[in-house]
Amino acid sequence: MIRPLALMLALAMAPLPALAHKVVGGAYADGALIEGEIGFSNGDMAADALVEVFDPAGTRLGGTRTDGDGIFTYRPTAAVAHVFRADLGAGHVAEFTMSAEEVAAILDSPAARAAAETGQAAAPTEADGAAGMAGNPSTFPLGPGPAATAAAAPGLSDADKAAIAKIVRDEMRPLRREIAAYREQNDLQSILGGIGYIAGLFGFGFYIAARRRLKA
């Protein structure tokens, strides 16, 4: 009697701020860089958080910080799986992995090679960043856009390509975030499914207990 009541109460309150408050994060290729973001599933981003990068064996590869929007960039140097880890305090830890194949694809991409070349030829600061990895600043100079852009618009200068790549990235960011939020959503089906599992499990337990009692 009371338990259905409690359940009904809980269900009635469900549409209120029904936000799972867990840590979400992800990393994806971004030209020659790995770009990632870290935040809470209620939409708050983790601003200025230290992100440490490890290889699968636990050796520290480097570190970077998120900017005000919870976004960080990291330039990979070795084609091993990269494990990104950020401790946001109070038991909130974000940890996600980018597989070795993905990292190798980034290192192998035309953008990365072009970045290294143009960096050496034109911009000494970028060459420093590519070679020295000094601190891996979170606002890394943007590499030129992917090869597809270059092929489609051969008349564009490197600066134009970089600007276009940046615009596309900025336009994509809200979409990515939306998808991440959507993935974290608790839909009614999973909730009902969970309740179904519980009913089944305890029903099974009930059956076992009843059989044991009948035998005795």
- Residues that bind another protein in the complex, under the rule CB under 8 A: 1-7, 9-11, 13-14, 16-23, 40, 42, 44, 85, 87-93, 95, 186, 190-191, 193-195, 197-199, 201-203, 205-206, 209-210, 213
Question: Which CB atom, from 18 or from 134, has the smaller least distance to another protein?
Answer: 18
Picking from 199, 53, 211, the residue whose alpha carbon sits closest to that of residue 133 is: 53
- Can you tell me the distance from the alpha carbon of 50 to that of 175, in angstroms, rounded to the nearest whole number? 25
Question: Which CB atom, from 159 or from 209, has the smaller least distance to another protein?
Answer: 209
Q: C-beta of 72: minimal distance to another protein in Å?
A: 18
- For 81-124, what is the HEC assignment? CEEEEEEEECCEEEEEEECHHHHHHHHHCHHHHHHHHHHHHCCH
Question: Which CB atom, from 93 or from 159, has the smaller least distance to another protein?
Answer: 93
Q: C-beta of 130: minimal distance to another protein in Å?
A: 31
Q: C-beta of 2: minimal distance to another protein in Å?
A: 4
User: Which residues does 77 contact at the CB level (< 8 Å), separation at least 6?
Assistant: 61, 107, 133
Question: Which CB atom, from 75 or from 177, has the smaller least distance to another protein?
Answer: 177
Q: Are 106 and 75 in contact (CB under 8 A)?
A: no
Picking from 10, 71, 78, the residue whose alpha carbon sits closest to that of residue 37 is: 71
Question: Which CB atom, from 137 or from 194, has the smaller least distance to another protein?
Answer: 194
Look up residue 41 and give its two tokens.
């599933």
Question: Which CB atom, from 7 or from 105, has the smaller least distance to another protein?
Answer: 7
Q: C-beta of 177: minimal distance to another protein in Å?
A: 17
- How far the first Cα of the chain sits from its last, in Å, is 30
Q: Are 31 and 118 in contact (CB under 8 A)?
A: no
Q: C-beta of 63: minimal distance to another protein in Å?
A: 17
Q: C-beta of 188: minimal distance to another protein in Å?
A: 11
